[in-house]
Amino acid sequence: MPTGSQPERTPDGRYIVVDGRRWRATDPDIPPEPAGRLRAHLMAARRGVAAARRKDDTGAERAARARVHRAKVALGERGDPWWDQSPTERTARWRDGLKALDEAESADAAEADQPAEADGDG
């Protein structure tokens, strides 16, 4: 597949085909702006998995994998098939997922801004 081109889709549009393998497609009814934010969360979580694996940090890897899963569910790539959901359920799925991911990102940023605690030895 050339860079920048869209992957092949099955005739019903529910799956993409990559290297002969079917993968569930992103819900096409997610508006572009939130879909882009969800993809950004997904890619950041995938980078988090890789970083945790390099550090052999199983707790961080588990947390990053949970974020990957949350983003993929919100995008409709995991969980209940988006084509079986009502429009209201589909909207709630991506909105709830995006809210949870945004809140987790804000909490992570706030935690990173906190000064390290002194160990009390001195």
Q: Which positions ≥6 away from 52 have C-beta within 8 Å?
A: 58, 59, 60, 61, 63, 64
- Per-domain boundaries in the chain: 31-106
Q: Which positions ≥6 away from 73 have C-beta within 8 Å?
A: 79, 93, 97
Cβ atoms of 26 and 19 within 8 Å: the answer is no
Q: CA 88, CA 95: separation in Å to the nearest integer?
A: 11
For residue 116, what pLDDT is reported?
Answer: 61
List the pLDDT tens digit at each of the 122 positions of the chain. Answer: 445 688 999 999 999 999 999 999 999 999 999 999 999 999 999 999 999 999 999 999 999 999 999 999 999 999 999 999 999 999 999 999 999 999 988 877 777 677 666 555 54
For residue 3, what pLDDT is reported?
Answer: 54
